[in-house]
Amino acid sequence: MSKRIWSYSALTQYLRCPLQFYFQRILDIPPAFTPATLAFGSSVHEALAVYHSALQRDIAIDDGEIRAAFLESWDRRKQREKITFTEATTEKSLLAKGIALLDAYLKEPPPQDIVGVEMTLMTPVHNSNGEALPAPMKTVIDLLTRDPGQLLVWDFKTSSRAYSEMETELSLQATIYSNSVWQIYKELPAFEFVVLLKTKSPKIQRVPTTRAPDDFGRLGDLIQVVDRAVKADMYYPIESCLNCSTCAYRKPCRSWISDPCVPKQETSRRISSTDIPFEEDQACNDTA
């Protein structure tokens, strides 16, 4: 069996910029920095997981403990990573925003009938012919609950803008996570993005969607093609403001040449993409 393991973040990173995927997941070059919005989203997630885990175990927890979990997570990241801020953001303003977002979420009715929090699932993906792909899919579900009659996958985002219905309908993440739950529980779940909106007055937006088995086959077809491209060492830059402005691999990217497909200073580190997995899920939970 192939050692390769796919994840949502690995797949979308390849689709967004195959060269960035190559630097991070094949050459294993550590990112030069972590954008503050990414670290921020992860710390909010950690605080939400503390809250939901307490609810699941029926343990009393107050808002102060959840805020403390957010701040502790941020401090841990600050010690490990080089966090960079945009001109419009400071650490102080971001932390205040994080507390305000958590407070807004805590005013919502708490989730009921929690099945799991931060659940790691390793599941097969099938193509549209029903054939299982050799590489499994690793997903980490923020929160799974049982609504009356149906499982519900919750995925939390922090964002400065509201999600549109179309981007939810087209979301690969919703398809991947719904497929993973379907594979394990043998029932089609509902899926909901819970967006913590970083607007002046923080708001919570819920955007529900569903997926059907046809969507899972189409996902399998897509992964099959990307997998072929990776096996063939197809890595190339996709330069755009959206991609490159926050990319932590701009330096090796400037040194990239197409043949051999490695940055000049990294030639001694070249390894075959078929030798290693790239499952590490570093999903960007924060959108600008």
Summarize as ranges the residues that interact with ligand SF4 (CB under 6 A).
17, 19-20, 237-239, 243-244, 247, 249-250, 253
Which residue lies nearer to ligand SF4 by CB, 20 or 179? 20
Query: Measured between alpha carbons, how far is residue 120 from residues 82, 203, 278 in Å?
Result: 27, 28, 15
The amino acid that residue 60 corresponds to is A
What three-state secondary structure class fits 206? strand
Closest distance between ligand SF4 and the C-beta of residue 250, in Å?
4
Asked whether the beta carbons of 32 and 252 are under 8 A apart, the reply is no
Residues near 217 by beta carbon (within 8 Å), at least 6 away in sequence: 126, 127, 128, 129, 130
Which residue lies nearer to ligand SF4 by CB, 59 or 241? 241
Which residue lies nearer to ligand SF4 by CB, 29 or 119? 29
Closest distance between ligand SF4 and the C-beta of residue 23, in Å?
6
Which residue lies nearer to ligand SF4 by CB, 115 or 234? 234
Closest distance between ligand SF4 and the C-beta of residue 168, in Å?
25
What gap in Å lies between CA 9 and CA 21, rounded to an integer?
10
Closest distance between ligand SF4 and the C-beta of residue 170, in Å?
21
Closest distance between ligand SF4 and the C-beta of residue 7, in Å?
18
Q: Dihedral sign, CA of 39, 205, 194, 55?
A: positive
Which residue lies nearer to ligand SF4 by CB, 3 or 264? 264
Neighbouring CB atoms inside 10 A of 15's CB total: 13
